């Protein structure tokens, strides 16, 4: 049987890289895309393919999808994983900086989805795995733009399920909890650059302190737990609509559901004191 062809965005680090390596080991044909092509050498060494891909640039996304279709003739699975956490106070963040977050986490995911759909529809099968976050259900201080994008991902994916499932295409959400990847470094750089010296600097200092001196119970899970969840989304005969995994991946969304808004706010504020 022909190997399934998987395209993963954001494969140069963290969850995307781990998923690419695990799927290669499981026998899939894997294409990883990211801006840092050199950081995907482990993927090529393991028999995968590395593509230059910037999900904020339309021509780059078109070129990546066209390349895979020309070589393989099909894409069976798209893993929309590329993303980062724009953290900082809304008052401090310029619309230009916010637009980059939206371009990456929302328009990048939506355009990649749009580009693979015609092929999946014609072949009558396909899976699109969208990486959301616990941040698609719960909210943390200074993360309004990031959480907004992940709330979007959840609404977009659920709505699309009603549109494409009858054509053989499954839309699957994977919502990681806290995972030990490059995500925290990028978040730390963003929050410091945006709000480290502004009127919310006191809150930023508390958040950085909480992030840099985490109690052992706050250490993130290994990205393998998310790679395993993604694989279940690909291989389960009828995939779940959402797979949750990783530190706090179940607990926080559950608390968000049962606690009143202000009780949840209090808990989040207390966590960074
Ligand atoms: N780590 C966590 O605790 C956590 C929790 C919940 C959800 N998530 C989500 O998981 C996903 C992966 O994050 P991670 O934790 O693995 O972080 P990471 O280690 O920082 O990896 C992020 C990946 O996204 C890629 N990326 C960023 N901007 C891009 C762009 N414009 N075009 C193409 N690729 C781009 C990066 O590649 P280049 O820089 O080379 O382009 C990198 O490969 C994200 O969507 C994140 O929101 C993470």
With the most atoms of ligand 1 within 8 angstroms of its CB, the residue from 7, 9, 15 to mutate is 15
Q: Is the Cβ–Cβ distance between 87 and 146 less than 8 Å?
A: yes
Looking at CATH, the fold of the domain delimited by 5-271 is given as Rossmann fold (3.40.50)
Q: How far apart are the first and last CA of the chain?
A: 56
Instruction: Of 21, 131, 126, 157, give the one whose Cα is nearest residue 79.
Output: 131
Taking the C-alpha atoms of residue 65 and residue 161, their distance in angstroms, rounded to an integer, is 22
- Please name the helix (run of DSSP H) or strand (run of DSSP E) that holds residue 268, with its range, or none: helix 261-271
| pLDDT grade for 212, boundaries at 50, 70 and 90 | confident
How is the chain split into domains, by residue range?
5-271
Question: What is the tens place of the pLDDT at every residue in 148-200?
Answer: 999 999 999 999 999 999 999 999 999 999 999 999 899 899 999 999 999 99
Q: 30 vs 271, which has greater pLDDT?
A: 30
Please return the burial class of 49, using the count of CB atoms within 10 Å of its CB with bins 0-12, 13-18 and 19+: buried
Ligand 1 center to residue 1 CA distance, Å? 32
Strand order in the sheet with 126-131: 49-52, 29-34, 5-9, 77-80, 126-131, 169-176, 242-245
User: What is residue 219's predicted lDDT score, i.e. its pLDDT?
Assistant: 85
Question: What is the tens place of the pLDDT at every residue in 119-148?
Answer: 999 999 999 999 999 999 999 999 999 999
User: What is residue 220's predicted lDDT score, i.e. its pLDDT?
Assistant: 93
With the most atoms of ligand 1 within 8 angstroms of its CB, the residue from 17, 82, 105, 109 to mutate is 82
Ligand 1 center to residue 213 CA distance, Å? 23
pLDDT mean over 22-42: 98
| pLDDT grade for 32, boundaries at 50, 70 and 90 | very high
Q: Is 12 a catalytic residue?
A: yes
Q: Whose CA is nearest to atom 29 of ligand 1?
A: 82
């Amino acid at each position: 049987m022909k190997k399934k062809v998987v395209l993963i965005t954001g494969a140069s680090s963290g969850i995307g890289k781990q998923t690419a390596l695990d799927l290669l080991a499981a026998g899939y044909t894997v294409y990883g895309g990211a801006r840092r092509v050199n950081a995907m050498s482990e993927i090529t060494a393991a028999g995968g393919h590395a593509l230059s891909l910037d999900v904020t640039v339309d021509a780059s996304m078109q070129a990546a999808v066209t390349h895979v279709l020309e070589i393989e003739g099909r894409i069976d699975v798209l893993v929309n994983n590329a993303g980062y956490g724009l953290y900082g106070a809304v008052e401090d963040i310029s619309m230009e900086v916010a637009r980059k977050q939206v371009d990456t986490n929302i328009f990048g995911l939506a355009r990649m989805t749009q580009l693979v759909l015609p092929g999946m529809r014609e072949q009558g099968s396909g899976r699109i795995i969208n990486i959301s976050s616990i941040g698609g259900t719960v909210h943390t201080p200074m993360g309004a733009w990031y959480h907004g994008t992940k709330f979007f991902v959840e609404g977009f994916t659920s709505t699309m399920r009603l549109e494409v499932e009858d054509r053989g295409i499954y839309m699957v959400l994977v919502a990681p909890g806290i995972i030990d990847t490059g995500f925290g470094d990028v978040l730390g750089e963003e929050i410091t650059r945006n709000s480290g010296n502004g009127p919310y600097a006191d809150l930023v200092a508390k958040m950085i302190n909480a992030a840099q001196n985490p109690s052992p119970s706050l250490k993130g899970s290994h990205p393998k737990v998310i790679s395993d969840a993604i694989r279940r989304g690909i291989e389960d005969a009828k995939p779940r609509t959402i797979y949750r995994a990783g530190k706090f991946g179940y607990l926080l969304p559950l608390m968000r559901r049962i606690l009143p808004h202000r009780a949840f706010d209090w808990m989040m504020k207390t966590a960074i004191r």
